[in-house]
Amino acid sequence: MAYAQTSVLVFGDSLSAGYGLDRGEGWVSLLRDRLDENDRDVDVVNASVSGETTAGGRGRLQAALERHDPDVVILELGGNDGLRALPVKTMKDNLLTMIEASRASGAKVLLLGMRIPSNYGKRYADQFHQAFVDVAEQTDVAFVPFFLEDIATDRGNFQNDGVHPNAQAQPAMLDAVWPALAPLLGVNLEVSATP
């Protein structure tokens, strides 16, 4: 049996699980396609769960690391903490613990940051986003400050619930991740970006 040269574990919530999308439409599936098209020997495992919080992720990460032994972990959690107005300090601690566990297993980490609407209160919204920035600086991991930045202001990019990106937005989500992910995989940045 041939083993993949490199493996990527995508560990996120509904944004990465492809909530409301047909199979193959989510950005993680598009990542697999992009790597395949460029003959990159990379195994992409999507262990994302809709509705997951950082606490839930922290509880199941170790088993996922042991099962998949990834070279790279893409950590995309925190959005549900924000939507539930959970304590920012707890979210930050959970993210730090997951990064530490991923690194201890031998994986590089890419952290995908998130923002929440200011109707949650400007102070909380600012603290929420700053937590990702602080975690990235403290751990020196690869970092995308706001995963949905390129699609967030256009309602046409979202499903009827106004929260989950639709199929047409998924390529832009992949393009947001790609510049930070490609160097971790040893892939040329110019290769395979969406036109």
Q: Where is 108: in which H helix or E strand?
A: strand 108-112
**In Å, how far are 28, 101, 153 from 47, measured between CA atoms?**
10, 16, 28
Distance CA 11, CA 52 (A): 10
Q: Residue 43: what residue type?
A: D
Measured CA to CA, the distance from residue 122 to residue 118 in angstroms comes to 5
Catalytic residue among 22, 39, 140, 161: 161
129 is a catalytic site residue: no
pTM of the shown model: 0.93
Chunked mean pLDDT (size 10), the chain, 195 residues? 71 97 96 87 94 98 97 97 96 98 98 91 94 98 96 95 95 96 82 51
Res 119: pLDDT: 82
Catalytic hit among 7, 14, 16, 102: 14
Q: What is the pLDDT of residue 146?
A: 97
Which residue is catalytic, options 33, 50, 164, 192? 164
Do 177 and 27 meet the contact criterion of CB atoms below 8 Å apart? yes
- 175 is known as an active-site residue: no
pLDDT at residue number 2: 43
Active site residue 161: yes
Per DSSP, helices labelled H in the chain are 14-17, 27-37, 54-68, 79-83, 88-104, 122-139, 170-185
Q: What is the pLDDT of residue 39?
A: 73
